[in-house]
Amino acid sequence: MIYMCIYLCSMNMTPTPEDILKQIARIERMEKGTLSSIRETPRGPCCNFQRWENGRNISEYIPAEQVPNVRDNLQSHERFEALVAKYVQLLSTRSRDQRLAGVQKKRPPHNSSSPRKPKSGN
């Protein structure tokens, strides 16, 4: 993912919304929540993982050997959020440009809402 960003930036190319969707599709795992260290062990930190599910705050103990996986999943979620924000920005810009391009085109004359009847030859 980082390589793609460096590659696109070095070529002065702005990614398209479709490029962003492809990057989003490559995210295979993610979790949303907060990881807090509760104690250090010889194997590393043990943590508390909190998240919202079905309107409730869920708290889960994470043993030291699972902490790296949860951290990776949380980073993937942060990446997902950043990509979604970029997608919205790019698509909004494209939509606005298309809308304004339509306004700038020459429009046909405005027809009256009440059609005129031809005058009779009498």
Tell if the pTM clears 0.75, that is, is over it. no
What is the three-class DSSP state of 8? helix
Residue ranges covered by each domain of the chain: 29-98
Can you tell me the mean pLDDT for 45-74?
96
Whether the per-residue pLDDT at 60 is higher than 90: the answer is: yes
Tell which residue, 118, 21, 110, 29, has the closest CA to residue 73. Answer: 29
The alpha carbon of residue 41 and the mean position of all alpha carbons in its chain are separated, in whole angstroms, by 37
pLDDT at residue number 3: 53
Euclidean distance between CA atoms 59 and 74, whole angstroms: 15
Tokens of 56: 């409730």
Those residues with Cβ within 8 angstroms of residue 51's Cβ, 6 or more apart along the chain or in another chain: 31, 32, 33, 34, 57, 58, 60
Can you tell me the mean pLDDT for 71-80?
98
Residue with tokens 């696109």: 8
